[in-house]
Amino acid sequence: MIITQSVKENLAEAMAFDFERDLLRDGLPPEKIQTQIKRSKDRITSAPVAVLLCLDMSEMDSYPDEKRRQAERTMAIQSVAAAGLQLLLAAHAEGIGGVWACWPLFAQETIQKTLNLSAAWEPQAMFFIGYPVDIPEAKERKEIRNISLFL
C-alpha cells in the first residue's frame, strides 16, 4: 500500500496516541515523550513515499498442529522481511534512500482502522523512501567472523 500525504498525516496522528500510551507506560518524562512523538510524526509526514508492508496469513498453508502453524507464521513473517529488504535494495540501486521502521508492529489495530484495512492484513513494517538530504557515515560493524558460524 502506498500512502498519500493526507493519509500519512491521519496515520501519524492516530499512531501518536498508541506511541504516547506506550511511552507513558515506560515511565518516560513528558518532554522526552513529546520529542519522540514529534520525531515519529515528522518521519511519517515528511517522507516523499511511505510503503506499508502487511502479512496476510489467509494466503498461507493451514496445518492441524501448532508446531507447523507457528513455522508457517514464521515463514510468512520472514517473507515480509525479505520483501522489505528487496524494496530497500531496489531503492539503493536507483540512488534512492530508504528507512525501515518497525512501528506498525506496535500499532497494528490503529493502522488497520485508520487505513480501513482488512483484519487479515497485519501491518509489519513501514518504509520511508526518498532522495537523501545527506549520506550518513557508515557505522562501525562487528567483524563477520565474530557473528557468524561457517560450516
Rg of the chain in Å (alpha carbons)? 18
- The DSSP letter of residue 64 is S
Superfamily of domain 2-132: NADH Oxidase (3.40.109.10)
pLDDT confidence of 92, banded at 50, 70, 90?
very high
Q: How many other β-carbons are positioned within 10 Å of the β-carbon of residue 8? A: 20
To the nearest whole number, what is the mean pLDDT of the chain? 93
pLDDT at 1: 60
pLDDT at 55: 96
* Cα–Cα distance list, 31 to 27, 41, 113 (Å): 12, 15, 28
The CA-based diameter of the chain, rounded to the nearest angstrom, is 51
Is the pLDDT assigned to residue 2 strictly greater than 70?
A: no
- Counting residues of the chain whose pLDDT is more than 90, the rounded percentage is 83
Q: What does the pLDDT average to over 111-122?
A: 95
Tell me the pLDDT tens digit for each residue of 6-57. Answer: 999 999 999 999 999 999 999 999 999 999 999 999 999 999 989 999 999 9
Spans of all domains in the chain: 2-132
Cell reading at 63:
496445518
